[in-house]
Structure 1
């Protein structure tokens, strides 16, 4: 029996050595959780044995328990790297349509050739579906998660339909009088001659194909408190509406219709309440300019109508005429071109937002987090992954940074929670235990030899 006791001690020491060596070898493995060999004594007796004289039967390994303490965070330059600060696991599947979940703390993610977020083994990161504009999730159930895709192109182009602008024109400038006859009077306005206008500004607008064009507006002071507004499209003069709604404005030397705006003595728009600003001008992009050159030679949809609004988008800031320099305070338009991916942001709740070159921001999904009643009951499968088991309990899904779920740190990875100094001390201890049990086995062998040599 003493041989078996010593042998069980050797086996236990070997298990302890193996566990410690495995911890040390994974000291730089992202998301790795150290293990601890746990032992129990072996004791067997019956009702007819004297319990106070019974010796134990050795030791056995009761469990190799993983320790799910938090590892330190290491910050990186990869926007898709993620670390969980607190409780929770990432959920992954090995196929787009699979529901066979594996769970990990390793957040070293990247994009595959299909633009899906995957780990180093090609497993798909699972996330909740969200509203593309607001980012609010439609469900936080694990059954409704799906792989998260980051498209590098944002939607189809949208032609510009509205321009919103508010500005201040300088009341101190001298008027540029109309030189021609009428009606309507013909001015000497010429976009190529700065002497014929007082100020100008430009905005990019988009056609139905997403091509960018430059719409420039020119402001010409005609008399105190009176201004004419002209426009060019890609350098070609274009009408600011029709002669009927020009509000008395002059036409240019090339018979392009301008728009007249008049201010009150206090610098506010001279309009009839409840109006607070000038009526919008309608720019109809169609056909050719005065020289016979087409406005849209690229085959884009025509006519394209752009409403030029003399106010900001909220309708609270109209143009002004004060004794200060010309200044544009608002200049916005509602068209978009095809957007190319420029940036990906992930917040602490796991919400993923993609920014595109056309200014579009879209929410792509929210990273799903999963927790278990008994983390140590998870089945380890390698690759710093685990599977649900009877001992772990069912997977409970939720949103990061809420309740008992940890927060997500973007551009960071969770290091192994192995304490190398402690493991080296444990390694020495396990070696000493192995040597002691080996010595016990050697002593037992010597005793048996002595007994066998008795004559």
Structure 2
């Protein structure tokens, strides 16, 4: 029996060396989680149980337990390299089968789907119908659209100006945008029609003979849009008319580009009449032209944004992060992937940075959590165990040979 006990010890040491060898081999594997060989003692049993002087029957490999400690996060600068800092796994679709991984070295395939090196597609929550959130009840493959961002016609223009309180009435009484003597000040900005074509919108300010009163004129591409709009200020320089929020609805302007008529609301609620200098503090509009895709950005909450040359950022989805009550119960599939089992428990899915889920870091990868120094020490220990058990077999063989040689 002693031969079998020592043999079980040698087998256990060999298993320990195999696990250590696998850890060392994957010390540079992205998202790899090291394993630990766990052993249990063996005792022979009978119908009456164990007696108090029973000698053990050796050792056996009880399980190989994966260690899901955090690996070092290293910046790569590549937009589609993702790392989870904390708990959770990336959720992937392998031809319709859901698998999980900590390796975030993603790229795109020929159809624009975001995939890992094994071709498994990253799962995200798609934007909901309102555009203000994400549909957390349905997962979908993340696909990058290489098309242009559509244009948006300008519908709101906000102007924050200061008109001097000591301004004089213009020399020329009839307003004419071509005659600088018929107005006091002017400013302009670029607006866009429904086809994304740009147009120049100019604003002219004319002081009237009435105290604290001005008239504003608007032209687009040199064409007058509506008539005079009266601006009235209080004795302290604040706008009193039009009343808050200070909106002026301009008549529709039909561009020559074939685009739809432009319906613009002019907001002058932040204009004032102070001091003796004209100034423009704010001049904004909400339209934009077409844009080409320039890059992808992933926030700590896992939201994937597509950025375009026109300054627009469009959310494409939110990365689905999955966690388990017992990650060690998951089944390793190879290629840095795991599958759920009855021992792992049901998958718990959600958004990064909430509840039991870590943050997503874009432009970075999680390294293997293997500590080479620790593994080399384990290797030496397992080697010593193997040698000791082998020596035990040699000793037992010598004793047996002695008994055989007795005459």
TM-score normalised per structure 2: 0.85
Q: Does the alignment pair 1:212 with 2:189? A: no
Match for residue 285 of structure 1 among 224, 240, 254: 254
Alignment of 1:262-341 (within 5 A): 263-264=232-233, 266=235, 267-268=237-238, 271=241, 277=246, 279-282=248-251, 284-286=253-255, 296=256, 299-301=257-259, 304-311=261-268, 317-341=269-293
Match for residue 237 of structure 1?
Answer: 222
TM-score normalised per structure 1: 0.77
Q: Does the alignment pair 1:427 with 2:379? A: yes
| Deviations, residues 52-90 of structure 1 (Å, cap 9, x unaligned) | 554332222111111122223333423433333332221
Q: Does the CA-based 8 Å contact 1:271-1:278 persist in structure 2?
A: no
Match for residue 21 of structure 1?
Answer: 21
Q: Does the CA-based 8 Å contact 1:238-1:283 persist in structure 2?
A: no
Instruction: Tell me, in whole angstroms, the C-alpha distance in 2 between the residues paired with 1:43 and 1:119.
Output: 47
Instruction: Tell me, in whole angstroms, the C-alpha distance in 1 between the residues paired with 2:354 and 2:248.
Output: 49
Gaps of 5+ in 1: 180-184, 247-258, 287-295, 312-316
For the structure 1 residues 55 and 149, does the alpha-carbon distance in structure 2 shift closer, same or farther, using more than 3 Å as the test? Answer: same
RMSD (Å) for aligned C-alpha atoms? 3.2
Alignment of 1:369-380 (within 5 A): 369-380=321-332
Q: Does the CA-based 8 Å contact 1:85-1:409 persist in structure 2?
A: yes
Match for residue 253 of structure 1?
Answer: none
Deviation beyond 6 Å, 4+ runs, structure 1: none
Q: Does the alignment pair 1:409 with 2:361? A: yes
Q: Secondary structure at the match of 2:158?
A: strand
Number of residue pairs matched? 405
- Quote how far apart the aligned CAs of 1:283 are: 5.5
Q: Does the alignment pair 1:156 with 2:159? A: no
Q: Secondary structure at the match of 2:9?
A: helix
Q: Does the CA-based 8 Å contact 1:153-1:356 persist in structure 2?
A: no
Instruction: Tell me, in whole angstroms, the C-alpha distance in 2 between the residues paired with 1:414 and 1:132.
Output: 34
More moved, 378-387 vs 197-206: 197-206
Gaps of 5+ in 2: none
Instruction: Tell me, in whole angstroms, the C-alpha distance in 2 between the residues paired with 1:90 and 1:300.
Output: 47
For the structure 1 residues 171 and 111, does the alpha-carbon distance in structure 2 shift closer, same or farther, using more than 3 Å as the test? Answer: farther
Match for residue 113 of structure 2?
Answer: 116
Match for residue 393 of structure 1 among 314, 329, 345: 345
- Quote how far apart the aligned CAs of 1:378 are: 0.9
For the structure 1 residues 414 and 335, does the alpha-carbon distance in structure 2 shift closer, same or farther, using more than 3 Å as the test? Answer: same
